[in-house]
Structures are given as structure tokens and as C-alpha cells.
Amino acid sequence: MSDNKIINSYKPLTDHNPVMVQRFGADPYALVYKGRVYVYMTLDYPEMNDIGEIQENTYSKIDKISVISSDDLVNWTDHGTVYAAGEHGQASWGGNSWAPAAAWKTIDGKDKFFLYFANSGNGIAVLTADSPAGPFTDPIGKALISRETPTCAEVTWLFDPAVLMDDDGESYIYFGGGVPSEDKASDPGTARVAKLGKDMISIVGDPKPIENVSYLFEDSGINKIDGKYYYSYCSNFSMTPEAEKEKGFEQGEIITMVSDDPMGPFEMCNPVLKNPGHFFGLGGNNHHCMFEFGGEYYITYHTRILEEKMGILKGYRSTSVDKLVINKKNQPAASKATREGVKQLKSFDPYVENKAVTMSNAAGIATSQFGEEAVKYGSGDMIVTAIKTGSWIQISGVDFGDKPAAVIEVMVKRADGRRADKVKGKILVCLDSPESKALEEVEVSMDSVKGVGVEEGLLMISNRLDTQASGIHDLYFVFEGDGFEFYSWKFKK
């Protein structure tokens, strides 16, 4: 760019973890639908004191769930934050939205989506939608599972759901955790499994205790691999060195158990992911989800590496994705958490309209809801905001093909409260580095003669490239000026 210095990102240009840097996201859960992975996360939102200093994360303010998706596991589209609980949430009867789980099912010929989450440690809620990005609404107006549910009153932490959609059309929900007393640390007895109704918003029969879950702490997981059912969880922090040696796993580690039946009994299997402190030097609770995508297995989990880079260290978590090791017995096995993350699964197509909130990295920007529906429900269509000189977004592995791109089209919008005559800026189109010489400098002006007004106050600006682009590159949009928002982009040959 010109003499203006670019803003540094919170992760290197070559790292893919954490998958999102524009906000925090904890307790990730993956849903695969029509060639995309949707990840739902607890929205860790910084708690502030009276003088604006970030305080330790107490989790008490959390009432939203973040949603992102990807078809290559590197470039992620931001779908916003589901207004799940609290005064303005769909489940307004609940105070919190922790540790989401998601599933989809075809009911009466239509695909329906279900988002389960914990009302702190006191029950499980369910929301429904017609799209994996929402809008989500509350179909029952109360908890799906509460302390009044049989066998659940004694569950220390009635939270952390996971859902299995079995091959025979049946579905199951797994939940629970916590240590009722010190003498029960080795076998807390607080894990549960229940069969879900055909409607996915009810349970059939009483939840069943999952027995012999050694040193259970929290974080239910469930997968069916090669005909076997793998229940997974995070071990608690009461393990002694002697217990760790005996059991073959450590405190705060993700452990699997295996069964021939979705409701058990389960037997101990393998540890799969050590505590984040083992990999990154910053420990904390460990939370995971294992998923299959494109014939390979992956594990998503959270760490504190984003807050470390931000200089906060107050317990705010961010989501990462890495390969899950499957051993010769077709069992999940010990895997590694990395900053590099996974390799991009497919190249990115620049010749279709791409939302600007799809990115692999960014600096100095934010995202916000776009359109009435997203504003009302929190998730859905989004737009890049808070643009300033030196801010940028990155899209990895963009394949321009052998025949060069000749034209770039962008859709922009005047920022709320900004007068049209005060909107002046540029979008610099760069390859391979945000500091490289721009292919084109797209001038953004609300009175631009190149602009064509469209719905929702968007303006399309089309520019012929000074330097044509071909081959595979990382693409950067680098911003100068302010007063505008960035909605979408598309190249043409």
C-alpha cells in the first residue's frame, strides 16, 4: 500500500489456527452439511470492569453462539452469532448458552437444523432452524433436559451436549459432567445418554447413566466409526501422577470409550488430545469435537493462543482444527494440536460472488449482521465493518486459472451514521502479501460514477485490473480510509 503501514494480525500469514481472529469462540462443535463444515462455538465475549479493563472470563455473560463454515477448512465464512439465551435470546427463559451441539435431519421432506446448548450447568436447551446458519428459534419454550428430568437431578453439571445421528435413523444426546465430591473424582457417575424423539426436540424414556467413565470432568463427544460408537470426554483435574500412570492418560485430556451400542456399556479406549497446555504452554479446560469430512477425520478444539497474542491472558478461548489420527484398528488415537492447522482441502474460486466475511486471516476489522433477519436473530448474512487504514483480510489458495482475471467487482456499503460525501477510501487488491504492490486500487466513493445502487444500500464498483492475475495465490484486500463496509467480491475474465 502507500506510506501507511498495515496492521499486524494475531496470527502469522501461514498459520491456519485459530480459525477465526475477529472474535473469540470456544467449545467448538462441527456439523457437516452439503459439502461444508459448520462450526458452532460458545461466544466468549470479553467482560469489562468500570474503567474498561478486560476481566477474567467468568462465563456468566455468555448468551450467544458463533457460527462459521468452510468447504476447505482454511477459509471460513462468518455467519454471525445466534441470539440464543438471555433477555434478547430465543430461549429467553435461560441465562446462558454454553457448549453448543448441532444436528440436522430431514423431517416431512424438509431439512431441519437443531442447535442444543447448556443453560450454564443447569440444563439443555434446543433451537431449530431451516438453515444451518439460522435464523434459530425456540420450538418448546423451556429446557429439553432439566433437573426435573429423571436421573438428572444428581448430575453435578447438567451441560455439554453432543448428538449422534445413527445410520438407522435414530438419534441420541449425550451430556453431563462434574465431580459431586472429592471421593468420587475417579468415577463421578455424572455422564448421561438419552434417546431423542423423532422430532429431535423431545427425549424418549429416561436418560441412562454412562457407567465407569474414569475421571470424568466435562465435554461430551460421540462418533460412530467403522460400526463402533466412541463416547469421548475431558478428564478431570483431580488425577494424581499415580492415577495418570495407571490409566494411561493425563488430567485435562480428551479420552475415548468404545461400545457396540449407542447407549453403552462403554469400555475405555484411547486418549486423543492432551490439554492445550501441553502443546502451547497455556492450560485450561479442554473441549473438542471429532468429525469426518471428505473421507478424513479431524478434531476441533479450543486454546488460548489468540488471547495470548492479544496480551490478555484472562481465560478467553479460540477455536482450532487439526487432523485426527485414526490408528490401524480404525480407532481415534493420540493427535496433535498445532498452530499451522490443516492443509487447505481445495482451491478457492474467485469467479463466483464471495462474501467478504469469508477469510483465512484478518487484521483490524470486525464483522456485523447485515439485513433485517440477521439483525433480529444474530446469525445469517454478515458484512465486514470497522474498516480503517491498514486493516485487511486474507483468502488462502485462490485459483485464478490459466487465463488471467481482468476485472474485479466489489460490493460496498456506507457505514451507519456516515454521510455519503464523507466516505472516501480504497480497497487494494494484492497477491501473496498484504504489503505487495496492488493489482488494482479500487476507489470507494458513495458518489462514484462507476457505482450502481442495489438493495440494502449496497453499491457495486467494477474495476479493470492494472495487472492481471493468474495461477494460485493468497489474495488480500487491504483497506485505506474509512466510512465504508465491505460485503462481497468477484473476479471476471
Specify whether 27 is catalytic.
yes
Assigned domain for 296 exists = yes
Residues 310 and 403 in one domain: no
Assigned domain for 15 exists = no
Assigned domain for 19 exists = no
Beta bridge partners of 479: 427
Contact 124, 160 (CB under 8 A): no
Assigned domain for 371 exists = yes
Q: Residue 160, SS3?
A: coil
Query: Counting beta carbons within 10 angstroms of the beta carbon of residue 326, is it exposed (0 to 12), middle (13 to 18) or buried (19 or more)?
Result: middle
CA distance 19 to 24: 10
Assigned domain for 20 exists = no
Assigned domain for 342 exists = no
Residues 84 and 229 in one domain: yes
pLDDT of residue 4: 66
Q: Provide the domain count of the chain.
A: 2
Apex 331 CA angle, 176 and 247, nearest 5 = 60
Give the residue numbers spanning the domain of 367.
354-492
Specify whether 72 is catalytic.
no
CA distance 162 to 224: 12
pLDDT of residue 450: 43
Residues 201 and 276 in one domain: yes
Place of cell 455519503: 420
Q: Residue 46, SS3?
A: coil
Residues 281 and 385 in one domain: no
User: Residue 385 belongs to a domain with what CATH number?
Assistant: 2.60.120.260
Assigned domain for 4 exists = no
Last residue of a domain, one of 285, 304, 333: 333
Cell of 85: 439465551
pTM to 2 decimal places = 0.97
Assigned domain for 3 exists = no
Residues 165 and 312 in one domain: yes
Residues 403 and 264 in one domain: no
pLDDT of residue 454: 44
Mean pLDDT by 10 residues, the chain (493 residues): 79 97 98 98 95 94 98 98 97 98 98 98 98 98 98 98 97 98 97 98 98 98 98 97 97 98 98 98 96 98 98 97 98 98 98 98 98 97 97 98 94 86 90 96 74 65 91 98 96 95
Classify the phi-psi angles of 212: left when phi > 0, otherwise alpha if psi is within -120 to 50, otherwise beta. left
pLDDT of residue 421: 73
Cell of 205: 424414556
Residues 326 and 360 in one domain: no
Strand order across the beta sheet in which 171-176 lies:
162-165, 171-176, 191-196, 203-209
User: Residue 106 belongs to a domain with what CATH number?
Assistant: 2.115.10.20
* 431 CB-near residues (< 8 Å, 6+ apart): 439, 469, 473, 474, 475, 476
Residues 431 and 294 in one domain: no
Name the catalytic one among 72, 78, 218, 322.
218
Q: Cα–Cα distances in Å, from 426 out to 1, 300, 454? A: 10, 36, 20
pLDDT of residue 157: 98
Residues 218 and 363 in one domain: no
Last residue of a domain, one of 333, 363, 391: 333
Residues 208 and 103 in one domain: yes
